[in-house]
Structure 1
């Protein structure tokens, strides 16, 4: 993927620990791809008509905008300390966090954010901002979650949909940039019908079915190594639910890449069930790639 000269990695921050992890992940990605990093904070208080200036006789830094400036400055400092020499800028943009980040996406190369932020309900595995941005952004979205494993492979889930084929190229580029293998995974459950009204067989040859799915996966990956010289590729067709198969595959990975919507998803849903499940259950950072829409 060739980013425009003006493109940057954009990371959303709110002062929470998950957002600081996202800053470190975003900084590493920016260095790897030779992009600058922009630290962005969605400042919602003006929309709620809350006074943002410090009250009279308040100590320095007591106003809401001053506190926002401090957290952005801290995030910029964290990125600079993590990756010396990286070009980093920070900005406060009035608006709700998800809306601000989606608004940045048309010109961003990549958006990075934490899986949860301040104000998230403790029972939620992944925050609503991460889900909303992954569903609506016009660029890939990287959600910092799980463990950081710099030696682990990149894993991509494929089902033959346009979004998953695009995800395969994004994952291949990420694997080559990291100098690690790409593991392509295809989950299948049972023989599909050949057309409307066609009944699925009650008995079928599992070995034959597995071979057919492996060949199908190989066809989807045809030309991938030619497009990405140096790519080390392995592929596996695994019987099981896609969400469970990808969660298991992420156990030793450093990155899981999924398409935003795959085959079988309900038309009109901007973020498919498999990609939502990956955001909730993956054990490594997840990159969501939106296909043609």
Structure 2
């Protein structure tokens, strides 16, 4: 199997329309960034429990591989019809989708997944593969949604002041510049909790003071990125409430929602349970999950 080109954008292909839409989203990203696109299909061999009743394993493998090659070829043709100058690589692999995509992420600039799947990628966004990539992958992970997964609108990023949200800001500013659109920075706060810990004397807190302190913290965190990307219009939103509700609300009109892989305070454990599943399942736009130290953010 050919080795992936360094920093290519990898897309998981499984024969679904969602995967095709994800490939179109990824192709646009690759075209804007001057990168190659890599289409990857991974199939898992079924366990044979009744020898003689079904074909030999060699025939089964050839069947799965042939089907994967057809799916990849169909997506390749569709992408080239829109982006004829794009360099496209492809790979059809046998094994675990999680292990294969983590391995692909080592050399990739990002890995893009569809929001619904078939075959080896069934249930991808219910938890296992997306969460595994968020924890163990080596580059940003994007879950593409929508008919063409190419929503217009501003880039929205959630921040809580953590290292993970710094990386998310780096990615979000770069995306906003490439898209020539605005950036909305969202931070939520709670009268009960502060940085994930119970506030001392929380019954006596002043909401006005809390909001002012949160805004000041976000302004300071965003300042270096404003200087680096002066052409990007920035709106800072400080809101009392839960991160999921706020991010889903802004994501409804966004072109891309960006979050860090783990944080503190309101965003703690974002990819470990209900928060991440809610964003991935219900957000109306593509969702990008950024890990601190991802290659694409280190270069920004």
TM range (shorter): 0.7 to 0.9
Q: Secondary structure at the match of 2:187?
A: strand
Q: How does 1:103-252 map to 2 (within 5 A)?
A: 103-119=103-119, 126=126, 128-146=128-146, 148=149, 150-190=151-191, 192=193, 199-252=200-253
- So what's the TM-score if we normalise by structure 1? 0.85
Whether 1:15 and 2:23 are equivalent positions in the alignment is: no
Structure 1 counterpart of 2:298? none
1:120-142 deviations in Å (ceiling 9; x for gaps): 778x9746333332332110001
CA gap of 1:291–1:265, structure 2 versus 1, over 3 A, is farther
Shift of 1:216: 1.4
Cα pair 2:43 2:64 within 8 Å, conserved: no
Aligned residues: 281
Structure 2 counterpart of 1:289? 290
Cα pair 2:9 2:110 within 8 Å, conserved: yes
Cα pair 1:149 1:253 within 8 Å, conserved: no
Q: Within 2, Cα distance between the matches of 1:88 and 1:195?
A: 44
Shift of 1:80: 1.1
Q: Within 1, Cα distance between the matches of 2:115 and 2:265?
A: 26
Q: Within 2, Cα distance between the matches of 1:235 and 1:266?
A: 17
Whether 1:271 and 2:300 are equivalent positions in the alignment is: no
Cα pair 1:106 1:139 within 8 Å, conserved: yes
Cα pair 1:52 1:65 within 8 Å, conserved: no
Cα pair 2:191 2:199 within 8 Å, conserved: no
Q: Within 2, Cα distance between the matches of 1:285 and 1:254?
A: 7
Q: Within 1, Cα distance between the matches of 2:141 and 2:173?
A: 16
Whether 1:63 and 2:63 are equivalent positions in the alignment is: yes
Shift of 1:87: 0.6
- So what's the TM-score if we normalise by structure 2? 0.83
Structure 1 counterpart of 2:33? 33
1:72-113 deviations in Å (ceiling 9; x for gaps): 111211221232211112111221212211111111001001
Cα pair 1:259 1:275 within 8 Å, conserved: no
Shift of 1:51: 4.5
Q: Secondary structure at the match of 1:180?
A: coil
- Name structure 2 gaps, 5 residues minimum: 49-54, 295-300
Shift of 1:16: 1.1
Q: Within 2, Cα distance between the matches of 1:126 and 1:185?
A: 25
Shift of 1:161: 0.8
| Stretches of 4+ aligned residues off by more than 6 angstroms | 194-198
Between 26-35 and 94-103, the greater mean CA deviation after superposition: 94-103
Cα pair 2:154 2:255 within 8 Å, conserved: yes
Q: Within 2, Cα distance between the matches of 1:65 and 1:126?
A: 25
Q: Secondary structure at the match of 1:223?
A: helix
Q: Within 1, Cα distance between the matches of 2:145 and 2:195?
A: 39
Cα pair 1:260 1:275 within 8 Å, conserved: no
